[in-house]
Chain A
Amino acid sequence: MKTRNELRFLLNGQAVALADVRPDETLLDFLRIKRRLIGTKEGCAEGDCGACTVLVGRLQDGRLAYESVNACIRFLGSLDGCHVVTVEHLKRADGGLHPVQQALVDHHGSQCGFCTPGFVMSLYALWMRDAQPSDQAIEKALQGNLCRCTGYEPIVRAARAISSYGDASADPLAAERDAVIASLAAMKDGARVEIGTGRERLVVPASADDLAMVLEVEPQATIVAGATDVGLWVTKFMRDIAPAVFIGGLDALHAISEENGVINIGAGVSYTEAFGHLSARIPPLGALIDRIGGEQVRNMGTVGGNIANGSPIGDTPPPLIALGATLTLRKGTVRRTMPLEDFFIDYGKQDRAAGEFVEAVHVPVPDRATRFAVWKISKRRDEDITAVLGAFNIAIADGVVTGARIAYGGMAATPKRPKAVEAALVGQAWTLETIEQALAAFETDFTPISDARATADYRMLAAKNLLRRFFLEGVEGHVPLQVSRYEAA
């Protein structure tokens, strides 16, 4: 195995090689403290405000794609072979402003200005892939950027207007794209990166197989994929994460494919990467993904990580459980597959052995006989943590419930199926009376808690009402059953 003892990446126009990097060193501190690139700001250090937004470009299958990310929770260890672009890189050589910047100036898109570089970078990422974005696309791209001054209206006006300031061909990243691809390709030497020892140790495995080997030797290692959770262990709780193993760059784990009606999602697939396939094949899942974190978090966070960290308020486990997903865990060369719901044992406890890692999740596409829906309820519609999330996968034949897989988040210490509710439905006529009778079973299945997001009473009532909504949506009619922000596609 070839190993290397330094991280290599591109920062704006410069190649960076770092032999002295701590596993918990964030990109934001590196930029601001070590490189004095002060345009990138710290607003929250938890990936919620977007003031630290930068772009990270990564080569995948020879293609170079840039994504907005939160530098505050992005570790340097995850950047090997990447191109980091900060706001300082946008200004033209002649000192003129980039179209995104000029549009924001002309539309009065900044007031205090502290959030502005982050907005610039998010809008830049959007503009690169969608030069004429819809309002929905703009709002989606800005879900991870907080502004406290403007009320967003002038920022959205600017976003609509960017393309009138020039096209993507004049863009600095477009001009240097080939050179960047060549540089990044040259960095891909197939080596494992190992830096430091003990509490200073970080490893970037060369491949998924190499990851399996690393974890066999260092089973206590912290596996870091998108770092949208682990990042906070460091920035908020100052926990030691060494040795840290960074798996975000492993191409094999980014695979998403479909075979025999089952979608296989590699553990490193980000929400953004999963969105395309899932929204086409299981549309309610696409709509749910749009409400997980902000764009930056969706670009970093992974479905595998959402499962592996075992949070009771992770958004993907309930729908995946309702769909009957299975999970493949790997240790060394040994793999085992289990129903996803069995993975969650108790609060903070999952069925994952030391040295074992989540390799993939397998999601059956619901067949025509069943109806599937998933709804998330949160205090704020977007970029919020779930208060209650309900997923329903119910089969009805000749007016009778023949199968019911329901799962909730936010209602118990783990993502959980309400077995008593399911039992009260299966075999019964699919009528409002059946639903109303089944509602009592929620009290058997769940004893939710009160916390900063919701009270127990609200959780219980909303959970029941989601089942009511599921029933009503199946009833013919044109009356809306939910509030909506965008016209149905």
Chain B
Amino acid sequence: MTKHEALDLAKAKIAGGVATDQKHDSAHKHVTGEAVYIDDMGEPAGTLHACLGLAQVAHATIRSMDLSAVRAAPGVIDVLTGSDVPGVNDISPAGLHDEPVLAEGKVQFFGQPIFAVIAETREAARRACRLAKVDYAEEPALIDLADAGPSGKLVTKPLTLKRGNAAEAIAAAPRRIKAQMRVGGQDHFYLEGQIAFAIPGEDSDVTVYSSTQHPSEVQHMVAHALGVASHAVTVEVRRMGGGFGGKETQGNQFAAIAAIAAKRLNRPVKIRPDRDDDMTATGKRHDFLIDYEVGFDDDGNILGVDFTYAARCGFSADLSGPVTDRALFHCDNAYFYPAVQATSVPLYTNTVSNTAFRGFGGPQGMVGAERIIDEVALALGKDPLEIRKRNFYGTETRNVTPYHQTVEDNVAGRVVAELEESAAYARRRREIDAFNANSAIVKRGLALTPVKFGISFTATHFNQAGALVHVYTDGSVHLNHGGTEMGQGLYVKVAQVVAEEFQIDIDQVKITATTTGKVPNTSATAASSGSDLNGMAAQNGARQIKSRLVDFAAEHFEVPKDQIVFLPGRVRVGNQEIPFAELIRKAYMARVQLSAAGFYKTPKIHWDRDKGQGRPFYYFAYGAACAEVSVDTLTGEYMVERVDILHETGRSLNRAIDIGQIEGGFIQGMGWLTTEELVWDGKGRLATHAPSTYKIPLASDRPKIFNVTLADWAENTEPTVHRSKAVGEPPLMLGMSVLHALSDAVASVAEHKACPRLDTPATPERVLMAVERMRAGMAAGRT
């Protein structure tokens, strides 16, 4: 609104408050190409470009490294090795000192950065990198999970969750099944790769523009590597071109290199690895080997469960501790286990250090739970949905998780019942059976799977957030908070909250880049917590200012405080209504502070890892998906025919944004479980390091029919920001419905009498091989 525009003092509603379908704040800039990502920023004169030299073996001692040809290459200004790190050559986010910026002496995975070239142009740096002569004394490498073995070396302390006596319960159960499942990893494939751009300042100062979900950690790591105080380092990020967890810790390395080079050479330095280096040298979703044993009765009641979740963590801990913990936290998905034991095995391997990825181990945990459901159902000749419903958590009883938190907000049953009805599950089950009876080659499959996902960082102290709110004298608002924007719509949601609080139109709220200089000591924008934490912090900041305004107005206009009400664009003070901007001007003249630092910490949560008990989660988010697929049993090729989703996000802050998260999360989860396959060759080199070989879903992989519905009755039982719920991660796990529909189609080959034990990703190859196993089993009379 311009200064001269007449104010509408009677309007009933602000534009862009909460519970409106605001467009992404940058949408108009996305479509025109005007949204600035870090590589798009203007480069100051003298900007240099860095490229990482990557190890070409998986495990070795470096006998010698001859970098003379690299240094002599055209355009090269400098070459850095580990010994050039002025502070500590370590960026371990776990504080375990197990992750060098540049490896010295020892190589622990193929692709590990061992030097960095700084050159006049990016191309010169890339070309020079390939001229290094490194003499490696190779050592045996642990590449696959199976190589590392269940008693292998660990990168961090394992966890066991235990309730009741699982071994006894299983032993006493009428039926038992014991088997193993392999769950593949996943590359984030953010479209904007990793990037950092460091600009040296005075003294020991440096500003780093980093594509990171965690500016505070980048700040700390850069300070650590430079050997300077945190106050010398400012980290800023306006937006990322996708993160998905891949920029929670993985940006540290690039930021550290850029900052070290920038300070050393006193010139701006940018580093943007190419896609192949990015995929080779940065961590991914952990792949798991899940050993499971379940005891159950003839009705399909699960009596006891024993899980071992072994994860390929790579050469360092990174976030593998909390990731493998969260796998265990979700080994129940939505099911009550009367007796349970679940153990994590965070294995050391000579591969890139795996990291956060949307769901953070939770998806892998849940996949184990759903496999058990399929096993039980197929062993009993029952529909898996019947087994699912039979084993759901209760509300008053049967409501304690393996980590001894009571589930207080269970709506899994309602969500599933409504979806079962709206997706016409029973009718389609009959139709599919009839179809399959008449179709020898193409088989259809159907599955309805639930999701219950725990919301909060399991490390309790991360559940805090800050915001900075300024109101300028014209009534416009500058909003800043610790959350980062990676496409998920966090910025617009928080702006909606602030607009709602002040009752001003959202275009009066300026969304600004996340920077460690404005809001300090922030947590990663992760764990689906972005709007829960930052929305509350910003609301708190706005309320502080409002409270001062009310105090001021009460005194100035001599009216009781309860007669001061913020209306759309205006404030009612007693009998009169004055424009918001006018009140602000008056408050300024009266020397009222119009800026506030908001803060929030999540209540109620606590977690004792040593005991395996507590309330790690503030609440749970629920959803369910019903998928139908068709499978070609000659080739394993398949098609997703239809998917119906019912998901609940509490009282949504922005339904359009939430639906976008659900649609996108589902497709990403489906990709993880179907076509996205990471393959390491015999030398431990990642063979799938670019989109030519690593296949994320395309538009033509979408379900042919795709119905996404938000539960309109939902609200958070906890007092979250406007009673909304987190939505970032939970929908990813709706993709499990496709895996189980594929499994169902494969099982039809053997009359649904054996579990196909379809490992993931369920590529056409794995599907066909599962079909072959089913057929061989039938032929052998084993059912």
Give me the interface of A with B, judged by CB distance under 8 Å: 29, 32, 36, 38-46, 48-49, 51, 86-88, 90-91, 97, 100-102, 104-106, 108-117, 120, 138-140, 142-143, 145-156, 235-236, 238, 377-385, 387, 451-455, 457-458, 461-462, 465-466, 468-469, 472, 479-485
Contact = CB atoms under 8 A, between A and B. Distances in A.
Contacts of B769: 457-458
Given A101-B32, A104-B31, A465 B634 contact: yes
Nearest to B127: A238
A145 B701 CA distance: 12
24 contacts: A39-B34, A46-B275, A46-B692, A108-B659, A110-B26, A110-B30, A111-B660, A117-B33, A139-B698, A142-B698, A149-B487, A150-B663, A150-B664, A152-B667, A152-B702, A382-B698, A384-B695, A451-B687, A455-B765, A458-B765, A468-B634, A481-B441, A483-B637, A484-B639
B189 A153 contact: no
B695 A380 contact: yes
Nearest to B664: A151
B664 to A, nearest CB: 4
Given A91-B32, A479-B438, 5 more contacts: A100-B31, A105-B31, A148-B242, A151-B702, A469-B441
A383 B768 CA distance: 21
A139 B699 CA distance: 6
A112 B695 contact: no
Interface of B: 23-24, 26-37, 39-40, 42, 123, 126-127, 130, 188-193, 239-244, 274-276, 438-442, 486-489, 630-632, 634-639, 656-657, 659-660, 663-668, 675, 677, 679, 681, 687-688, 690-693, 695-702, 704, 706, 708, 763-765, 768-769, 772
Highest count of chain A CB atoms <10 Å: which of B442, B489, B664? B664
Nearest to B703: A153
B554 to A, nearest CB: 42
Contact of B191 (A114, A378, A383): A114
A462 B768 contact: yes
Contacts of B42: 36
B664 A111 contact: yes
A419 B24 CA distance: 59
B24 A138 contact: no
Contacts of B675: 379-380
Contacts of B687: 451-452
Contacts of A106: 23
Contacts of A113: 24, 26-27, 29-30, 35, 239, 241, 487
Contacts of B130: 238
A34 B498 CA distance: 41
B663 A148 contact: no
Contacts of B35: 113
A380 B42 CA distance: 38
B241 A112 contact: yes
B699 A39 contact: no
Highest count of chain B CB atoms <10 Å: which of A44, A106, A115, A384? A44
Contacts of A457: 769
B707 to A, nearest CB: 10
Nearest to B26: A113
A379 B763 contact: yes
Highest count of chain B CB atoms <10 Å: which of A44, A51, A115, A148? A148
A238 B31 contact: no
Contact of A88 (B33, B630, B657, B688): B33
Contacts of A235: 274
Given A101-B31, A146-B696, A480-B441, A153 B276 contact: no
Contacts of A484: 639
B699 A142 contact: yes
Given A49-B191, A111-B660, A377 B32 contact: no
A39 B663 contact: no
A109 B634 CA distance: 37
A469 B192 contact: no
B487 A105 contact: no
Contacts of B656: 108
Contact of A112 (B239, B637, B681, B772): B239
A169 B769 CA distance: 54
Contact of A480 (B32, B439, B691): B439
Contacts of A48: 690-692
B698 A152 contact: yes
A155 B239 CA distance: 21
Contacts of B30: 104, 110, 113, 116-117
A374 to B, nearest CB: 14
Nearest to B680: A452
Nearest to B686: A452
Highest count of chain B CB atoms <10 Å: which of A151, A465, A485? A151
A379 B704 CA distance: 18
A147 B660 CA distance: 12
B679 to A, nearest CB: 4
Nearest to A49: B691
A-B CB proximity, top 6 nearest: A39-B33, A112-B487, A114-B241, A113-B30, A151-B667, A111-B487
B31 A117 contact: yes
A114 B639 contact: no
Contact of A382 (B37, B700, B704): B700
A114 B23 contact: no
Nearest to A237: B130
A485 B639 contact: yes
A132 to B, nearest CB: 18
A87 B189 contact: no
A146 B698 contact: yes
Contacts of A49: 191, 691
A302 B441 CA distance: 35
Contacts of A120: 31, 33
Contacts of A458: 636, 765, 768-769
B24 A108 contact: yes
